[in-house]
Amino acid sequence: MDDETGDSVPPDAKAEIAEAIGAALAKHGYERLTTAKIAAEYDKSEAGLYYHYDSKDEMIAAFLDGAAAAQAAELTDDDREDSETRLRAACERLFVAPGDERAGLHVAVMELLSHAPYNETLRDPLRELEGATLDALADIIREGVGDGTFREVDPDATAAFLLAAADGSTGFHVALEMDVGADLRRGWSAYVDSLLADG
């Protein structure tokens, strides 16, 4: 979990930069994210960033790699719960509301996704991030189908549909702040209900 020495080490420069990028992305989004704003969240200068990375997008790509790993870990964490509980917990995490501390970052990821067609550097890390989430959801659903919690639904189709709904809610619910919070919750909750066996 630490470096080769096994000792607890202070965060290295790259980890500090990743943290700065996360904070700056959440505050400003991607288009308005400048290296000056990243440096403002970092305790060093703008030029210092370029000692560790060759371009701004490489820094963001590194941040996204970390985010994919963290996302996979969090959705896989609660192995001891039953699959309905795990799926509902995943939905609580993935459907964010305006004001949630993750809201800014979700909007920024949405913006990054929309830039993927034009940005080769970001494409692969974003595929990892979305793929990790998709896999985690499919695993939960597959387990629930296997043990009889859920009906015989297609785990991949169900996971894709559910992740799409969570991602898409970020646009009109979070970014536009349209008054649909209660509708969305009833929507995903009813969807999970509809997956249950015997229902």
Partner DNA sequence: GTCTATAGCTAGATAGAC
Partner DNA sequence: GTCTATCTAGCTATAGAC
Residues that bind DNA (CB under 7 A): 13, 32-36, 43-48, 50-52, 54-57
Query: Do 80 and 2 contact (CB within 8 A), yes or no?
Result: no
Q: Applying CB under 8 A, does 88 fall inside the site for its own copies?
A: no
Query: Which CB, 76 or 119, lies closer to DNA?
Result: 119
- Least gap, CB of 31 to its own copies (angstroms): 5
**Which partner from the list DNA, its own copies, none does 36 bind, CB cut-off 5 to 8 Å by kind?**
DNA
Between residue 3 and residue 42, which ones bind its own copies under the rule CB under 8 A?
Answer: 28-32
**Which partner from the list its own copies, DNA, none does 130 bind, CB cut-off 5 to 8 Å by kind?**
its own copies
Q: Is 196 helix (H, G, I), strand (E, B) or coil?
A: strand
**Which partner from the list DNA, its own copies, none does 33 bind, CB cut-off 5 to 8 Å by kind?**
DNA
Q: Applying CB under 8 A, does 89 fall inside the site for its own copies?
A: no
Residue 135's contacts (CB-CB under 8 Å, 6 or more residues apart) are 72, 159
- Alpha-carbon distance of 19 to 42, in angstroms, equals 8
- Return the residue of 21, 67, 113, 140 that touches its own copies, per CB under 8 A: 113
- Alpha-carbon distance of 141 to 91, in angstroms, equals 12
- What spatial distance separates the first Cα and last Cα of the chain, rounded to whole Å? 44
φ, ψ of residue 77 in degrees (nearest 5): -65, -45
